[in-house]
């Protein structure tokens, strides 16, 4: 960790991630609560959740672009676009237009732009830190993600009660502008440009934003070419990423995410209504902060478990998580419910860090943007459907029964890992090696 703190490129990327995650947390909480406040319907909150998560399905298609575009320029431009788009809601309210339809348009627009951010960050990280620092670096990034959620989910609930959800959109614009400034100072070496990772100030010879390096770059992982010439078009680059993943343990790793995300997506659709029964906007902020705290604790612990068998961590953790989630639904107080939900999310935070590190260690740099985007997109493919279904279930079978699906989803992951031989045989993350392209 000490060398990471001396790495200027890492510090700036980390700070930018922390700030942009804060903005994401504010508008996510504000959007779900604003939709529920305007309609009082879990069907509408389910739709809002689906529209928020739906653009994540497109993340696989942005991967080839991330691998081709200058990462610093991409990170800065996405923040500037989000800073403008998020102002649409406060502008409309200022003009007297209180429209749930507008909120339902702005949310997926912000989410769509965001699909470029995380693959770009994931692709940049292995280029600016050494391989043996990746687990710690991912833990730090997960800390930024979950830490921002912890602070700003709770803060968002309090601010909603004090100044209203619309004001959070205006604050969001400032966070995205600040993130753009931070990302503008990140030096990201070119993929395959030699051993430049871990440098305190980047490498003057490395390509930055498309500028050719002074020294000859080391050979990169081969790309598909047409007639032996330049890399083929976008479609072939995308196909190469899919072909790389096919037949590897990465395919089976997706299954666990699909099982959990589908059913957890359903619970997120009814969470505003569930929290409303426990105390309103303040309770919603408390629960969102508690779940973020659980993910944060898990993220901090994830780096310490890099030498423990991945399957053992996965199975044991998710079994405990299922029990804690179920207990939270019968807890007598808001504090107890929030605490148990936090415990349930700790194993999820651990697994997120370990899985991200496993992918980064197994995938060559030139494929990392595509593969990260592809896996991210596929793992959340069922979440929009889960959110829509959860919203409708909340209207029919009730909010409590829909929330109980979260425990089912967590338990199903533990069973799935035990049932798949290639997952049971996965080595500890620290022992994972790069796969052949």
DSSP string, 275-332: HHTTTTHHHHHHHHHHHHHHHHHHHHHHGGGTTS-HHHHHHHHHHHHHHHHHHHTT-S
Which single residue is written with the structure tokens 């976008």?
234
Please state, in angstroms and as integers, the Cα–Cα distance from residue 246 to each residue in 123, 241, 250, following that order: 20, 9, 8
Report the pLDDT value the prediction gives residue 206, as an integer from 0 to 100.
40
Helix axes 249-276, 281-302, angle to 10 degrees: 150
Please tell me the distance from the alpha carbon of residue 155 to that of residue 162, in angstroms, as a whole number.
10
- Is the pLDDT at 205 greater than 70? The verdict is no
Of 202-206, 215-219, 390-394, give the lowest mean pLDDT range: 215-219
Say how many residues make up the chain.
Answer: 437
Which single residue is written with the structure tokens 């995650």?
21
Report the pLDDT value the prediction gives residue 390, as an integer from 0 to 100.
93
Please tell me the distance from the alpha carbon of residue 12 to that of residue 183, in angstroms, as a whole number.
6
For the chain, report the end-to-end CA distance as a whole number of angstroms: 30
Looking at residue 218, the DSSP 8-state letter turns out to be P
The 3-state DSSP class for residue 225 equals strand
Domain boundaries, the chain: 2-189+234-431
Report the pLDDT value the prediction gives residue 216, as an integer from 0 to 100.
31
Pick the CATH number of 2-189+234-431 from 3.30.420.40, 3.40.50.1000, 3.30.465.10, 1.20.1250.20: 1.20.1250.20
Report the pLDDT value the prediction gives residue 323, as an integer from 0 to 100.
97
Question: pTM, whole model, 2 decimals?
Answer: 0.69
């Amino acid at each position: 960790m000490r060398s990471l703190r001396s790495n200027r490129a890492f510090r700036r990327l980390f700070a930018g991630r922390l700030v942009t995650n804060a903005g994401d947390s504010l508008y996510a909480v504000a959007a779900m609560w604003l939709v529920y406040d305007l309609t009082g319907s879990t069907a509408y909150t389910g739709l809002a959740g689906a529209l928020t998560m739906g653009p994540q399905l497109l993340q696989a298609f942005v991967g080839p672009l991330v691998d081709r575009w200058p990462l610093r320029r991409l990170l800065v431009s996405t923040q500037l676009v989000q800073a403008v788009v998020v102002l649409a809601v406060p502008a409309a309210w200022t003009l007297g237009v209180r429209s749930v339809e507008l909120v339902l348009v702005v949310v997926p627009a912000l989410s769509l732009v965001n699909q470029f951010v995380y693959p770009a960050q994931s692709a940049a990280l292995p280029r600016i830190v050494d391989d043996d620092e990746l687990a710690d670096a991912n833990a730090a990034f997960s800390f930024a993600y979950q830490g921002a959620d912890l602070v700003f989910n709770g803060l968002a609930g309090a601010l909603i009660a004090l100044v209203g959800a619309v004001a959070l959109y205006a604050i969001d614009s400032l966070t995205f502008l600040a993130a753009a400034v931070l990302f503008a100072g990140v030096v990201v070496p070119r993929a395959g440009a030699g051993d430049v990772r871990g440098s305190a100030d980047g490498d003057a010879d490395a390509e930055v934003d498309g500028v050719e390096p002074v020294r000859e770059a080391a050979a990169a992982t081969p790309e598909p070419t047409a007639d032996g010439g330049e890399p083929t078009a976008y479609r072939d680059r995308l196909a190469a990423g899919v072909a790389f993943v096919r037949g590897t343990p990465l395919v089976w790793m997706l299954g666990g995410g699909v099982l959990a995300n589908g059913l957890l997506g359903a619970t997120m659709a009814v969470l505003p209504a569930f929290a409303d029964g426990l105390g309103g906007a303040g309770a919603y902020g408390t629960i969102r902060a508690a779940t973020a705290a659980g993910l944060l604790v898990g993220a901090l612990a994830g780096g310490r478990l890099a030498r423990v068998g991945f399957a053992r961590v996965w199975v044991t953790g998710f079994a405990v998580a299922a029990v804690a989630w179920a207990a939270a639904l019968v807890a007598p107080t808001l504090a107890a419910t929030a605490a148990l939900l936090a415990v349930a999310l700790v194993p999820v935070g651990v697994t997120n860090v370990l899985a991200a590190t496993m992918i980064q260690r197994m995938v060559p740099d030139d494929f990392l943007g595509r593969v990260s985007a592809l896996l991210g997109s596929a793992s959340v493919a069922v979440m929009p459907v889960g959110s829509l279904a959860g919203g409708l279930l909340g209207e029919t079978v009730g909010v409590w029964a829909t929330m109980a699906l979260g425990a089912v989803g967590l338990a199903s992951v533990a069973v799935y890992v035990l049932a798949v031989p290639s997952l049971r045989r996965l080595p500890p993350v620290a022992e994972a090696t790069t796969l052949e392209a």
